[in-house]
Structure 1
Amino acid sequence: MERLWINARLATMTGDGLGVVEDGMVACEQGRIVYAGPGGGGPREAAEVIDCAGRWITPGLIDCHTHLIHAGDRAGEWAMRLEGASYEEIARAGGGILSTMRATRAASEAELVEIALPRLDALLAEGVTTIEVKSGYGLTLNDELKMLRAARALGDERAIRVSPTLLGAHALPPEYAGRADDYINLVCGAMIPASVGLADAVDAFCEGIGFSIEQSGRVLTAAKAAGLPVKLHAEQLSALHGASLAASHGALSADHLEYAEDSDVRAMAAAGTVAVLLPGAFYFMREAKLPPIDLFRAHHVPIAIATDCNPGTSPTTSLLLMLNMASTLFRLTVTEALRGVTINAAGAIGLSAQIGTLEAGKTCDLAVWDISNPAELVYRIGFNPLFMRVKDGQCC
């Protein structure tokens, strides 16, 4: 046996709850879990034995919705908003997503990686072992591909699993003003085919200030035709039934969902589409419309939680903070919150067969915590009790 973690308390995330095992152990061989359960039932010897001294082990955390790759920041715009400027006024002054677009276009691939590493390091320090990273600030074929390559490169720089997503249909670039359908032609006809092998999925922003149901549907159809899984920004600001559209395409996830209705949730349940909640954006934008948590519960739609790390609406690199926000703002339980950054987050990026639980056959991605109760991970604010992060069976 390669490595054992003994004298641990496990939150395996198997079954419907936390899957708690008292006095447990995890055994690893060649980067995979070969045993996770009561200490008395596992292997006895290994090349390395780590005594956890009663600490808790969870699966490595998964941040399943981020915009980690981008250049520039919008702190100045935030200050303008605090002084009373409207989003429209800021946009007319050259701000908003187009500000990030210009900075991202101007940056090289290597510069984008270098800029993103401090954000990534903050997430790793909180036990994250897998991260989804979207493009969407290049908005040209070459710049979107540059962003996807930069996202992939993060996995070469750090011990992290990266799942890149093409979000070419994020916003309408200025050179296509008044020609949204022509831009969608570019996304479907050029960006999606060129992203095969670079992207693990395709996303779109289905919203009144983004792209219509029809345009978003074209993107999802083209992605599926290219053999790429899909997901969708849906129902963040209005009820367009983007979540139903996503479900009709068998989407891995629909994300945001504040304005999702019963028909949307039923469609998601039937399709197995994960509801990804983004409390950082909800908080930062001072939203008042809550996601329909009770509907997700009633229809057994899996709930995931992510940072939505981005420069405009959720400039956070703390997944632990999102656990507290999801429970405080959305009233998720401790179990729902912790499953939301492990097994359900794995489902949101199509990796639930590989990661997200502590069980034999899964990749040995672990977070070892210096806590007395898993609720501490959700309850505390500004508290990082990570003792050890393990990626592919290696302590890092």
Structure 2
Amino acid sequence: MTATMITDIGLLVTNDPTLGAGQLGELRDAAILIEDGRVAWVGAAAGSDAVGGASAPAAGAEATGSAAAPPQVLSAGGDCVIPGFVDSHTHLVFGGDRSAEFEARMAGQAYEAGGIRSTVEATRQATDAALRARLRGFIDELLAQGTTTVEVKSGYGLSVPDEERLVRLAAEVTDEVTFLGAHVVPAEYRGRADAYVDLVTGPMLAACAPHARWIDVFCETEAFSVEQARRVLTAGIAAGLLARVHANQLGPGDGVRLAVELSAASVDHCTFLSDDDVAALAESDTVATLLPGVEFSTRQPYPDARRLLDAGVTVALASDCNPGSSFTSSMPFCIALAVSEMGMTAAEAVWSATAGGAAALRRTDVGSLRVGARADLVQLAAPSYNYLAYRPGVPLVRRVWKDGELVRQPLP
């Protein structure tokens, strides 16, 4: 693979405070060298007086000691470069359409989790080819908006064969696959939730675990109780999966403390939190993943990110892209909402959408631009990451690199 030197970076966000200023490890007048899909060097651009490292090397051999040929040189033209977004919560494999449900909510109808069942019916009827084509379309859409790492959940099959095919299809596009058989109780098990949990923790888990890295459960009054959620998560952990939890979206509950008890990597939504919930998160390694697209699309109260951050909780931002409650794949949009509605600064929101998402996935190779990290970068058509909140809705992603390969660039 040809080495690439990106120079003339007006502002580089590394997410490594040892490399630059503040939480984001910011470097001005910077450059970055990519070799073999990884970050090989980070520092000041040639001729720059910037603090943060030696001047940019002229060739890959000088940076790494290898016999590599001089790198291809690309100018960022003074733009801001940030790590690729890490979207740690999506539901991208589904059939059907729920735009009428969205329209009804905008007219005043309250959001209810039961709408998931309509997507289940449409997904079961869809062919593998149709689901695969739609999924790959979403992945292209994510890349175009700067998302280079994405988690994908099942949860719209809710039968053994359908859940198995959803995680299998998801595994074609990402290593971060989550088995969410415990999304809601399907219609055929209405009134028999415990029997459905038996299915999820038995034959369904056995069929899905080979394709997944994660186990998840929707721990809410309208979905699964904390006792049922514990059964699902402990069975998944016993099968070798890592835990994550949907909780405290629709109202207060014990889901957050269950996630902490079981050392889940993240607990997602966190809209209704008690002081005890916040304290438990602050004393744990469990990330609070906030999904502002949901509140935008359902007109529910936004989570209080400021409260969590001030308590020392690690916060991630994710899109929760799904057909019912948050049909957006735009992490820049979620950043803008987090700043305008959730009390976050632009720096905190960018960190949460990159390094925070990586923490929610227990990844150290993405979400930052330190030496050895995957070369997943986004060049913004702006001098600062602040523009992601300052100019909401404007397409600011100019170039995207994924594993060192340029996967999006401006049209001629």
TM-score (norm 1): 0.92
1:136 aligns to 2:155 (yes or no): yes
Task: Pick which of 116-125 and 222-231 moved more.
Answer: 116-125
- Unmatched segments (≥5 aa) in structure 1: 156-160
Match in the other structure for 1:23: 29
CA–CA distance in structure 2, aligned partners of residues 82 and 238 of structure 1: 20
Give the distance between the partners of 2:360 and 2:179, measured in 1 at CA. 15
Is the CA contact (8 Å cut-off) linking 2:267 and 2:288 kept in structure 1? yes
Q: Equivalents in 2 of 1:258, 1:97: separation in Å?
A: 19
SS in 2 for 1:53: coil
SS at match of 1:373: coil
Q: What SS class does the counterpart of residue 97 from structure 2 fall into?
A: coil
The one-letter amino acid of 2:398's match is F
Q: Does 1:277 align with 2:279?
A: no
Distance 2:141 2:405 in 1: 19
Aligned equivalent of 2:77, options 43, 49, 53: 53
Please state if 1:336 is matched with 2:348.
Answer: yes
- Matched position secondary structure for 2:142: helix
CA spacing shift, 1:82–1:366, aligned 2, 3 Å? closer
| Equivalent position SS for 1:105 | helix
Query: Are residue 355 (structure 1) and residue 366 (structure 2) matched?
Result: yes
1:113 is matched with: 132
AA at the equivalent of 1:300? G
1:79 matches 2:103: yes
Measured on the aligned residues, the alpha-carbon RMSD in Å equals 1.8
Q: In 1, distance between residues paired with 2:109 and 2:371?
A: 54
SS of residue paired to 2:171: helix
Decide which of 232, 242, 247 is 2:245's aligned counterpart. Answer: 232
Which amino acid in the other structure matches residue 308 of structure 1?
Answer: D
Q: For 1:75-112, what per-residue CA distance to the aligned partner results, in whole angstroms no more than 9, with x for missing partners?
A: 12333445566667x96xxxx21110011011122211
**Residues 102-251 of structure 1: pairs in structure 2 closer than 5 A:** 102-153=121-172, 155=173, 161-251=174-264
Show CA shifts across 1:281-301 (max 9, x none).
Answer: 11111113x424343123311
Deviation track 1:18-56 (CA, whole Å, cap 9, x = no partner) reads 211011111111111111222352421233111212111
Q: In 1, are the aligned partners of 2:111 and 2:298 still within 8 Å (CA)?
A: no
Find the aligned partners of 1:236 and 1:307 in 2 and give their Cα distance.
Answer: 14
Change (3 A) 1:87 1:338: closer
Q: CA deviation at 1:66?
A: 0.7
For 2:371 and 2:329, how far apart are their aligned partners in 1? 31
Q: 1:197 aligns to what SS in structure 2?
A: helix
Give secondary structure in 2 for the equivalent of 1:209: coil
CA contact (8 A) 1:105 1:143 kept: yes
Corresponding position of 1:384? 395
In structure 2, give the amino acid aligned to 1:43: P
Pair 1:321-2:323 in alignment: no
Cα 1:335–1:84 shift into 2, 3 Å? closer
Residues 100 and 6 (structure 1), Cα distance of their counterparts in 2 relative to 1, 3 Å cut: same
Match of 1:158 in 2: none
Return the alpha-carbon distance in structure 2 between the equivalents of residues 208 and 115 of structure 1. Answer: 31
Aligned-partner SS, 2:30? strand
Q: Distance in 2 between matches of 1:339 and 1:176?
A: 42
Tell me, yes or no, if the aligned pair for 1:304 and 1:345 is still in contact at 8 Å: yes
In structure 2, C-alpha distance between the alignment counterparts of 1:144 and 1:173, rounded to whole Å: 12
Deviations 1:337-381 (A, max 9, x none): 101110010111121x11100100111111111211210012212
Using a 3 Å threshold, how does the CA distance of structure 1 residues 172 and 29 change in structure 2: closer, same or farther? Answer: same
Give the drift of 1:187: 1.0
The code of the aligned residue for 2:149 comes to T
1:308 matched to which residue of 2?
320
- The one-letter code of the counterpart of 2:3 is E
Count how many residue pairs are aligned between Structure 1 and Structure 2: 383
Once residues 117 and 12 of structure 1 are traced to their aligned partners in structure 2, the CA distance between those partners, rounded to angstroms, is 29
CA distance in 2, matches of 1:138, 1:301: 34
Paired amino acid for 2:381: D
Alignment gaps of 5+ in structure 2: 47-53, 60-69, 408-412
- C-alpha change, 1:312 and 1:24, in structure 2 (3 Å) is same
8 A Cα contact 1:241 1:260, kept in partner: no
Query: Aligned pair in 2 of structure 1 residues 280, 20: CA closer, same or farther (>3 Å)?
Result: same
Maintained 8 Å contact 2:175/2:213: no
- Quote the offset at 1:322 in angstroms: 0.8
Does residue 43 (structure 1) correspond to residue 57 (structure 2)? The answer is yes
How far apart are residue 306 of structure 1 and its match?
1.1
Distance change in 2, residues 1:387/1:79 (3 Å): closer
Give the Cα–Cα distance (whole angstroms) in 1 for the partners of residues 368 and 106 of structure 2.
42
In the alignment, does 2:39 pair up with 1:33? Answer: yes
